[in-house]
Amino acid sequence: MNKEEQKSIPFFFIIGRPRSGTTLLRTLFDAHPNVIIPLESQIIKLLFEKYGKRKSWDESQLRTLLEDVKKEWKFDTWNVDEERLEKDILDCVGETPLKQIIRAIYRNYISHFEKKEILLFGDKNPEYSLYFNKLIKNFPEAKYIHLTRDYRDQILSYMKFDFSYPIIPLIAYRWKKSVQKVLKVQKKNTVSLFSVRYEDLVETPAKCIEEMCSFLGIDFDPSILDFHKSEWENLGTKAQQELKQRYHKNLFRPIDKKSVGQWKVKMKPKDVKVADMIVGKYAKTCGYSREYKKFYPILYLRIFPLLLSRRASRILNMIIDKLPYDLKMKIRNKGSIILALYKKSGSSKQQNN
């Protein structure tokens, strides 16, 4: 793939909440011979926040951008040829659209799967559903795949890992807000969006992937369903191996539907009631049936302070987003430290109990 060929390659994005099957879907497309879709990172979000208005570049500015990319969250899990990456970025000196620099970065991702002619660049990040309006603004021509999972199963899976705040009302609230954001953006914009449920993906994977490939304009290759046979468990960077072992062990096995409906036997009724009440009508919108359809005033009063704090946090994030980039990043980094201390505190309490 030369520089000129790279310019015409379109992007597509996978959006959905964490633990909703987005990593499985990314891996399936990673196994496609005509697709480059790196591991999850926030490179695109970072670059548009910091460099979105820049149209012309000198070598010093591009080297600064390269250092920013290397320091970005989870970039250490990418398998890249660093010398070629540096060369490709520095080749963008002069009048170069930011999206072209992003393509230069993505072309350097080295997949464990064999590649032929590259027809698509892909990206997957759960945060995209909450920042969907910004993504559409920067990539109006792109195609989007929105993956949803039963919020109760998603909550169960989410609670197993050290993601954000492991509090059921807040996880359910973010599930609802994610769906609301996607629907709102879809209503206000002309967007090429394909919606799929995790439950359908694991029930009929070949059918779902074939439909998505048709949507994206690429041929369906049945071999991608054998992704788990590639023996990629111990391949890649050390950080990549740790990530796979810690969060994504199921990717080393064939697709199955064992995790569908686990909430019915593993989730406490009071927790189901909370989740059903918070998600409300958006459960049906996404094809899920609530166990509890009533509004429970006393229960709602108990969780209201949590929901209020989450709404306040959303407003604060909106304000922070409007600040200069460097100041914004300082505030966010401090927030990450607070979150880490919170998790450590929660872990210590569990050990003491």
- Which contacts of 71-76 are long-range, i.e. CB under 8 A and separated by 24 or more positions? 72/41, 72/42, 72/43, 72/46, 73/41, 73/42, 74/39, 74/40, 74/41, 74/42, 74/239, 74/243, 75/41, 75/43, 76/237, 76/239
Examine residue 328 and state whether it is found in any structural domain, yes or no. Answer: no
Query: What predicted TM-score, i.e. pTM, was given to this entire model?
Result: 0.85
Taking only the tens place, the pLDDT of each residue in 70-104 is 988 788 889 898 999 999 999 999 999 999 999 99
Q: What is the mean pLDDT of residues 117-128?
A: 91
Nearest by Cα to 165 from 297, 42, 309: 309
Beta carbons of 219 and 34 less than 8 angstroms apart: yes
Structural domain contains residue 338? no
Give the tokens for residue 111: 């997949």
- Whether 190 maps to a domain, the answer reads yes
CATH of residue 148's domain is: 3.40.50.300
**pLDDT reading at 235 higher than 90:** no
Dist. CA 175–CA 323, nearest whole Å:
27
Number of domains in the chain: 1
Q: Is residue 15 part of a domain?
A: yes
Cα–Cα distance list, 78 to 204, 258, 304, 305 (Å):
30, 30, 41, 40
Domain enclosing residue 31, as ranges: 3-38+109-322
Would you say residue 122 lies in a domain?
Answer: yes
Question: Would you say residue 72 lies in a domain?
Answer: no
**DSSP code at position 13:** E
**DSSP label at residue 39:** P
pLDDT class for 314, splitting at 50, 70, 90? confident
CB 122 within 8 A of CB 29: yes
Residues 74, 75, 78, 80, Cα dihedral to 10°: -170
User: Where residue 238 falls among pLDDT bands split at 50, 70, 90?
Assistant: low
Pair 139, 9: CB distance under 8 Å: no
Tell me the three state secondary structure of residue 273: helix
Residue 317 forms part of a structural domain: yes
The answer as to whether 351 is a domain residue is no
The tokens describing 261, both together, are 């409906």
Query: For the chain, what percent of residues have pLDDT higher than 90?
Result: 57
